[in-house]
Amino acid sequence: MVTVQAVEILVVEDNPEDLEMMMHALKRNKLANRIHVARDGAEALEFLADKSHLPKVVLLDLKLPKVSGIEVLESIREDERTRVLPVVVLTSSREEPDVRRCYELGVNSYIVKPVDFDAFVKAVAEVGLYWMLLNQPPEQHA
């Protein structure tokens, strides 16, 4: 089997301002080389269904058009090919049912987006650095 690693980060975010801040943080920390952006849950699922690529990590918002972030997470965990794919929820929701459901579905981390620009940029940078440089995932195959 061939190991697939063309895209390193899948960012699933519909808010243009949040997306801009995320990209700024990732670029500032030299983590923006191979990023794919999905602006709704359906686009994210379509991207993940394509067997020609698999990211190292998914940064997932919950409040998305078409297909919710929770539904995207459910789909990721139900598919044997993506089941162990690290998923980090980055959302504005502090709702306990959202937090609980994400952890029940096997999310790797749940982060509430800071409102402050600098704090948001720092949080995304730390998430990116951890999951791209420090975390040791199992080998992914197509």
Residue 140 lies in a domain: no
CA distances for 63 relative to 22, 69, 93, 95, 120, angstroms: 16, 6, 8, 12, 17
Q: What is the pLDDT of residue 119?
A: 86
Domain presence at residue 91: yes
> How far apart (Å, rounded) are the C-alpha atoms in residues 9 and 103?
21
* Domain annotation covers residue 3: no
Task: Tell me what pLDDT residue 2 has.
Answer: 35
pLDDT value, residue 32 = 67
Here the CATH number for the domain that contains residue 15 is 3.40.50.2300
Is residue 2 a part of any domain in this protein?
no
The predicted pLDDT at position 5 comes to: 42
The pTM (predicted TM-score) of the whole model is: 0.86
Q: Are 68 and 43 in contact (CB under 8 A)?
A: no
Q: What is the pLDDT along the chain (142 residues), one digit of tens a residue?
A: 334 445 588 999 999 999 998 888 888 877 767 889 999 999 999 999 988 878 989 999 999 999 999 999 999 999 999 999 999 999 988 899 999 999 999 999 999 988 888 888 888 888 887 877 777 777 765 5
How many folded domains does the chain comprise? 1
Indicate whether 1 belongs to any domain. Answer: no
Residue-level pLDDT at 126? 84
Domain that includes residue 57, residue range:
9-131
